[in-house]
Amino acid sequence: MGDAELDLERLIKAPIGAVFDRLADIESINEWQPRKGSIRRGSRKTSPGPVGLGTTYEDSTLFGKAPGEVSAFDSPRELEYHWQQKAPWGAMLAEGWPGYTLESVGEGETLVRHYARLKTYGLYGPATPIMKRIALRERTAVLDALEKSFG
């Protein structure tokens, strides 16, 4: 088993409510999050109703499908997702908690603190350092895309 954590910050030139709504809208993530150079291929909401605590979704990645749920939802200040990836025989391979805390810092500006925790199991354990580098690239690309989406 392996563990990794990341913490990034970015100042986004948009009001806190708009930034939170963009991050929480699972249906529109595919429109603004990067695909080129990313392991993520798409996301879809799998539970009915508006996004909130417990909403389920599924990411498609180069590594396969990763079901997840919204594990923290405090609009407009905190949002966290929790995904899992399992082997075809059901063994847990990895799970992650990408999340955001937002703070209004000026007229129409939001400080986004983007953190990610990763836990690997079994065969994926020795690959934790590589997966951390992949996650850092992915999480940086998400912040770049978020900033650009308001440009």
Q: Mapping DSSP to helix (H, G, I), strand (E, B) and coil, where does residue 116 land?
A: strand
What is the side-by-side strand order in the sheet with 64-74? 2-12, 109-120, 92-106, 78-86, 64-74, 56-61, 40-45
What kind of fold does domain 2-149 have according to CATH?
Alpha-D-Glucose-1,6-Bisphosphate; Chain A, domain 4 (3.30.530)
pLDDT digits (tens, 9 = 90+) for 94-133: 999 999 999 999 889 999 999 999 999 998 899 999 989 9
* Predicted structure pTM score: 0.93
pLDDT digits (tens, 9 = 90+) for 11-59: 999 999 999 999 999 989 889 987 777 778 889 999 999 999 999 999 9
**Dihedral angle at the C-alpha atoms of 70, 72, 78, 82, nearest 10 degrees?**
-50
Q: Rounded distance, CA 139 to CA 23, Å?
A: 13
Domain positions in the chain: 2-149
